[in-house]
Structure 1
């Protein structure tokens, strides 16, 4: 791997590092053709929507508080309660946040179990939030087969990054795992590659964490060298596709984990081995029948991962482009 200068992930520094990588013969960040709506990354988050269960202790609220304190962001708490009996609990939680000097407010939504996702999305739009946090509860197999659970719907429909929390493992000084799909080179997946790496790297900077990357390959997709074994050729090609972010983020070889897929099995296995605090994934989420039948990797690992999950989509000028990507998500 070619050595590259130390670089911070700012727009100017990234351009310098990409130029340096090209000059030294290394790969640079791929150009997706997608246009960023704005520089949306962790440090630019100003308002966070936290969906809290009607309980005194909530992992989602703990993560929301931690991020708000770190980023200086405002919190909006949402309690979905058909009986509207949790106002006192909500007021107590808001008072606790105010004592920490945080800007926080909240609301109750009178909804049935089947209306929770719609209420969350409505609040996200109404409050113009930059991040959505919700506690994930694994679904029973029967429920998966006969319904589309809230978290799966949110993966497909959330207009902002979605943080699903389920593990109290500390982020500070922990491990951030970026799950990268480098096999697919369409515009949507190229946009995701940069988005996942940018967010994962910023989380590491904010919380003093270690960055690791996992990428799965499918031996059936490519045999670059007919004389080489199929799995060896596929692994080599996958490694080549990872070179741009190894250069840009100076990622040591021992922090890159390449393995034979499927991704839905490899990602949880590596996350477990590393005791990852949070796994950052991208999704080109489908709607309608194709989404119901095909799904995506973010949904596939939902109940397999034991870490928190930050789920991102490509930033595009025309969101409809993602509907025609034609590939599964990373």
Structure 2
């Protein structure tokens, strides 16, 4: 059973408006959870000052950390209500994403919550390198938050993959839907399933004169519809909330989220690293470039973060 009992909130040191903290407080009050507000800071100028002794550098670092802690106390003060437990952690580290993931693993957190930057003109979100790293390498779910509320009776979109019928894929679909159902219960939301299926390969139609592109496309669509209905039925989701659409996931998912005016998209990320990550990327990463709501990224069972050994 997935639970949100321990939430790690990553704060943005450049603003007093902490969207991630506000969202985490909402979640925590529904789950009787505790929150740790986390800030990783590093100032290169202190590290480079050769005229300072090691001890002096250490005390300067401590001074900066304490200053930040005092600022955080002010930021969380309005949220210290209704008996919520809010802890503060400020650490000195030169790679924020590493410090966040290590902290999440060591503290056995259930969820990382982090704010994202909204791009005013496009309504899409600008993701920072830290966001990318968290989605790729954090072994626990990562919730990337925008500055909009989750209204009652909102909509949650689950991006499922029914094109592969292997156990790992089925288990990831199940995990995505379980997260959605738990949140839907708490926020009185609707759960929708979306699946993108590929269009007819153009080269097939050209190379095989007798090839019936329409029949081919219909067959693929019906197969996907059948599988998504089966999945929806297994989790008690209305067939009216199943969406099977032709196209690439990175186009289909944001389009549906926009047309439904969804509050949250939940998808699985496989966490590729190394060269394959650079070349192939990952559906999740393409999707989030154009999504206009919160995103919850979930790893498959058994995923080991490259940082768990560090």
TM-score, normalization by structure 1: 0.75
Q: 1:152 aligns with which of 121, 124, 132?
A: 132
Tell me the residue number matched to 1:49: 8
Cα deviation, residue 111, structure 1: 3.5
Deviations 1:65-95 (A, max 9, x none): 0010010011011122335442222112343
CA contact (8 A) 2:118 2:146 kept: no
CA contact (8 A) 1:136 1:165 kept: yes
Deviations 1:276-310 (A, max 9, x none): 00111112221111112111111111121001011
CA contact (8 A) 1:94 1:105 kept: no
Cα deviation, residue 220, structure 1: 4.3
Tell me the residue number matched to 1:308: 294
Q: 1:86 aligns with which of 68, 74, 79?
A: 68
DSSP-derived class of the 2:8 partner = strand
Take 1:271 and 1:52, find their aligned partners in 2: how far apart are those partners? 26
Cα deviation, residue 169, structure 1: 3.1
Tell me the residue number matched to 1:136: 116
Take 1:249 and 1:268, find their aligned partners in 2: how far apart are those partners? 23
Deviations 1:45-76 (A, max 9, x none): 21000001123211100111001001001101
TM-score, normalization by structure 2: 0.79
DSSP-derived class of the 2:112 partner = strand
Tell me the residue number matched to 1:193: 173
Tell me the residue number matched to 1:262: 248
Take 1:301 and 1:148, find their aligned partners in 2: how far apart are those partners? 15
Take 1:204 and 1:265, find their aligned partners in 2: how far apart are those partners? 25
Are positions 1:295 and 2:281 aligned together? yes
CA contact (8 A) 2:20 2:113 kept: yes
Q: Which has the larger radius of gyration?
A: 2
Structure 2 CA distance for partners of 1:305 and 1:148, relative to 1, 3 Å: closer
Tell me the residue number matched to 1:275: 261
Which stretch of structure 1 is more off in the superposition, 73-82 or 62-71?
73-82
Tell me the residue number matched to 2:224: 238
Task: Give structure 2 stretches of 5+ with no counterpart.
Answer: 43-63, 120-126, 205-210
Cα deviation, residue 148, structure 1: 8.3
Take 1:293 and 1:271, find their aligned partners in 2: how far apart are those partners? 27
DSSP-derived class of the 1:99 partner = coil
Tell me the residue number matched to 2:47: none
Structure 2 CA distance for partners of 1:56 and 1:138, relative to 1, 3 Å: closer
Tell me the residue number matched to 1:110: 92
DSSP-derived class of the 1:309 partner = strand
CA contact (8 A) 2:229 2:239 kept: no
Cα deviation, residue 185, structure 1: 2.2
Are positions 1:252 and 2:226 aligned together? no
Tell me the residue number matched to 1:33: none
Tell me the residue number matched to 1:31: none
CA contact (8 A) 1:56 1:89 kept: no
Q: Give the root-mean-square deviation of aligned CA atoms.
A: 2.5
Take 1:86 and 1:168, find their aligned partners in 2: how far apart are those partners? 26
Take 2:136 and 2:200, find their aligned partners in 1: how far apart are those partners? 28
Which stretch of structure 1 is more off in the superposition, 259-268 or 159-168?
159-168
Which stretch of structure 1 is more off in the superposition, 240-249 or 213-222?
213-222
Tell me the residue number matched to 1:15: none
Are positions 1:62 and 2:22 aligned together? yes
DSSP-derived class of the 1:301 partner = helix
Take 2:151 and 2:105, find their aligned partners in 1: how far apart are those partners? 28
DSSP-derived class of the 2:230 partner = helix
Cα deviation, residue 243, structure 1: 2.1
Tell me the residue number matched to 1:12: none
Instruction: Name the count of aligned residue pairs.
Output: 268
Cα deviation, residue 151, structure 1: 1.0
